[in-house]
Structure 1
Amino acid sequence: MPTIALLTLSNVFMTVAWYWHLKGGMTKPLWTVIAISWGIALFEYCLAVPANRIGYAHGWSGGQLKVTQEAIALLIFGVFMVTVLGEPLGWRHAGAFVCLVGAVAFLFVGK
């Protein structure tokens, strides 16, 4: 489904835009980090806006789009957190993801 694929790619860009500087970029001036992050985020917007338009045109509600995006964001961030930041995943991460998947399911039930 194009909406989910585009939301996934947009979340990859946004996660990098928001968190890349935590590993190796802490010595850079804040204005530089902000400028680089805005440049990366431009690609996120180029993917997220079409994803939301396509999803909405195919009958998804705004709420469905948002909670789907949040569930994808948590999954992408989990991978980023482990692979880039070197932080471990714990049971609370899994619990949070299950809760978000539940939120997605609640908004799609009866659609």
Structure 2
Amino acid sequence: MPTIALLVASNVFMTIAWYWHLKGGMAKPILLVILISWGIALFEYCLAVPANRIGYASGWSGGQLKVTQEVITLLVFGVFAVVVLGEPLGWRHAGAFLCLVGAAAFMFAGR
């Protein structure tokens, strides 16, 4: 469970780092946006690296960690897209999410 919690928190920071400037920050100079995003991403790394180490030490494979991270990324981005960017979610988002959940199921099958 610590692995999942840390991956969720790290994905929140990474989503903000990558997309915060799309709503209200487009007028800022790109170099400033990059520097701010790097600062935000530092916190993401401080959470993602321990998450992966804890998960790997607990018996997760690298593939399992990566696929789980991708499922969490899509969930976090879906919330961000709706709440912050005001974008609606559609059937394509649901389909992509289901494909990733299927990938995760394959990665964990037999463990």
Give the TM-score of the pair, scaled to structure 1. Answer: 1.00
1:103 matched to 2:103: yes
- 1:1-111 alignment runs, 5 A limit: 1-111=1-111
Residue 98 of structure 1, CA deviation = 0.5
Aligned-partner Cα distance in 2 for 1:29–1:35: 10
**In 2, Cα distance between the equivalents of 1:109 and 1:58?**
17
Distance (whole Å) between structure 2 residues aligned to residue 78 and residue 107 of structure 1: 23
Say what the alpha-carbon RMSD is for the aligned residues: 0.3
Aligned-partner residue type, residue 83 of structure 2 = T
Deviation at 1:13, TM superposition (A): 0.1
Shift of 1:85: 0.3
Deviation at 1:19, TM superposition (A): 0.1
Q: TM-score, normalised by structure 2?
A: 1.00
Cα deviations by residue, 1:43-88 (Å, 9 ceiling, x for unpaired): 0000000000000000000000000000000000000000000000
Identity of aligned residues (%): 83
Which consecutive unaligned segments of at least 5 residues does structure 1 have?
none
Regions of 4+ moved over 2 Å: none
Structure 2 CA distance for aligned equivalents of residues 101 and 10 of structure 1? 19
**Can you give the 5+ residue segments of structure 2 that lack an aligned partner in the other structure?**
none
- The count of corresponding residues between Structure 1 and Structure 2 is 111
2:57 and 2:8 mapped to 1: Cα distance? 18
